[in-house]
Structure 1
Amino acid sequence: MASYTDAQIAAWLRGLLAIAWADGDFSTAERATIIELTTTELAVRLDVTHFNPISSDELAASFGRNSQIGRNFLRTAMMVAVADGVYSPPEAELLREFHQVLNVDIQVLTALETTMISDSPPASGVTNTQKLDVLLPVREWLDGLELQDPRLARLLCKFIPSQCPFERDITLFGHKIVHIPPLCKLNPLYDQTVGLRFRALSYLADECGEDVSPYCS
């Protein structure tokens, strides 16, 4: 049933990790989580003890240039990059580099960067709703991700939380000093991310006949 090779799945995971840890933060707990994921869910060997981010040339060698698998990888990489509601310059630079080496149109990245990285206020007369509408091509592009391999579906079910991280207030001496909204309010692509997780669960249950209850808690 698998449509991707072990080498492609390993490259996919290394690429997502490169995006997720573009800021250089790679904790012991994260290493342990990825070790468990690669050995029990993906059945690929990946040394995360001495993790080296995948290079652009390695990605191109694994996926090919302007291929469907490359486009599907880039869709998941974009979702990982904006998962916390922050699209940082290092993430944007690496994602653009991946798009270029895989020979995939970067117009969706331009829309994403314009909306999420710019610190300048909207131009006079431009509403926040109009600014968010710039992301419509990005949403449509992300919705085109195809699920053809159960290992990829399991990977997405692990990477994407089953529930939106809850909002909370930070208090000091009984006084609220900051309010942290739920990530679903910060991430403008949250609906696409949740929709992808649902499709991954449905694919595993309906087409692969797997028990998806472990991913639903």
Structure 2
Amino acid sequence: MTSVLQSPYTSEQMAVWIRGLLMVAWADGNFDAEEQKLISSLTQNEIAPTMDLGSIEPITADELAAAFKEDPRGAEDFLRTAVMVAVADGVYSVSEDELLFQFCEALGQQPKALSLLRQTLIPTPESEISSDSDKGAAARIRQRDVLRPVRVWLDGLEIHDSRLARFLCKMIPAQCPFERDVKLFGHKIVHIPPLCKLNPIYEQLVGLRFRALSYLADDCGEDVSPYC
């Protein structure tokens, strides 16, 4: 039996929240029109069936500001989830960065974590690029050190709403995609490592998904097998 818990967020806030996350998911252009329609339908029918999301139009700065003007904690948690969705595929793009900073400006937030994340957009000078595995591993270690405050900031996100929990369980992959070789005419042309080796905050994504599942199962009494 599913229990009814009082969410700290209003229906209006959650509608803006989920629309904002969908904007981030589509920001890098990896979703075509049919995929966007499918995700919108999934959001409306499975994640938040009792909430009116309208036509899921792009969020405006005024809507964001109005939704969270008296809830700075909610605004910060919205930004945390937006960052999670942005980096779920292991790539932080320029379009995602621009959109997130627009969100920050609208909400009056200036998290240091986002400024640090922006450093991952800076191209590596050619002189520093090397195929040597040891140098590549060292570069990944340096990146993890730089992004440590980002990971700490993201780990501060707690789940208190079933609609948000369902959305995160759907958007974050259930497991790290397998590594694979791309071959052409029987010859390997590139090796793609698993997502968990590419994404410096993969552990935060896994942790967030686990907290969302736990909230749905333990606090809301929902069957989480569809997300596993």
2:76 is matched with which residue: 71, 78, 93? 71
- In the TM superposition, what is the alpha-carbon distance from 1:151 to its structure 2 partner? 1.1
- The answer for the alignment partner of 1:54 in structure 2 is 59
Q: Does 1:164 align with 2:176?
A: yes
Secondary structure of 1:112's partner? helix
Secondary structure of 1:110's partner? helix
Q: Does 1:13 align with 2:18?
A: yes
Are the aligned partners of 1:15 and 1:53 in contact in 2 as well (CA < 8 Å)? Answer: yes
Are the aligned partners of 1:11 and 1:59 in contact in 2 as well (CA < 8 Å)? Answer: yes
Q: Which runs of 5+ in 2 are unaligned?
A: 129-137
In 2: Cα distance, 1:79 partner to 1:122 partner = 29
Report the number of matched residues: 212
Larger relative contact order, structure 1 or 2 (CA cutoff 8 Å, min sep 6): 2
- In the TM superposition, what is the alpha-carbon distance from 1:135 to its structure 2 partner? 0.6
Overall identity of the aligned pairs, in %: 55
Are the aligned partners of 1:157 and 1:215 in contact in 2 as well (CA < 8 Å)? Answer: yes
- The answer for the alignment partner of 1:36 in structure 2 is 42
Q: Which amino acid aligns with 1:16?
A: L
Task: Between 206-215 and 194-203, report the one with greater CA deviation.
Answer: 206-215
In 2: Cα distance, 1:186 partner to 1:26 partner = 24
Q: Which runs of 5+ in 1 are unaligned?
A: none
Secondary structure of 1:178's partner? strand
Deviation digits for residues 109-156 of structure 1 (CA, Å, limit 9, x no counterpart): 111111x101034998xx522332111110000001121111111111
- In the TM superposition, what is the alpha-carbon distance from 1:3 to its structure 2 partner? 2.6
Secondary structure of 2:96's partner? helix
Relative to structure 1, the CA distance from residue 122 to residue 64 in structure 2 (aligned partners, 3 Å threshold; closer, same or farther) is farther
Deviation digits for residues 153-194 of structure 1 (CA, Å, limit 9, x no counterpart): 111111111111222111111101111222111111110000
- The answer for the alignment partner of 1:151 in structure 2 is 163
In 1: Cα distance, 2:28 partner to 2:166 partner = 25
Are the aligned partners of 1:22 and 1:91 in contact in 2 as well (CA < 8 Å)? Answer: yes
In 2: Cα distance, 1:101 partner to 1:174 partner = 52
- In the TM superposition, what is the alpha-carbon distance from 1:204 to its structure 2 partner? 1.1
Are the aligned partners of 1:63 and 1:70 in contact in 2 as well (CA < 8 Å)? Answer: yes
Q: Structure 1 length as normaliser, TM-score?
A: 0.89
Secondary structure of 1:3's partner? coil
Are the aligned partners of 1:39 and 1:45 in contact in 2 as well (CA < 8 Å)? Answer: no
- Give the structure with the higher percent helix: 2
Are the aligned partners of 2:143 and 2:200 in contact in 1 as well (CA < 8 Å)? Answer: no
- In the TM superposition, what is the alpha-carbon distance from 1:45 to its structure 2 partner? 2.7
Q: Structure 2 length as normaliser, TM-score?
A: 0.85
- The answer for the alignment partner of 1:133 in structure 2 is 145
- Aligned-CA RMSD value: 2.1
Secondary structure of 1:4's partner? coil
- The answer for the alignment partner of 1:196 in structure 2 is 208
- The answer for the alignment partner of 1:96 in structure 2 is 101
In 1: Cα distance, 2:60 partner to 2:190 partner = 39
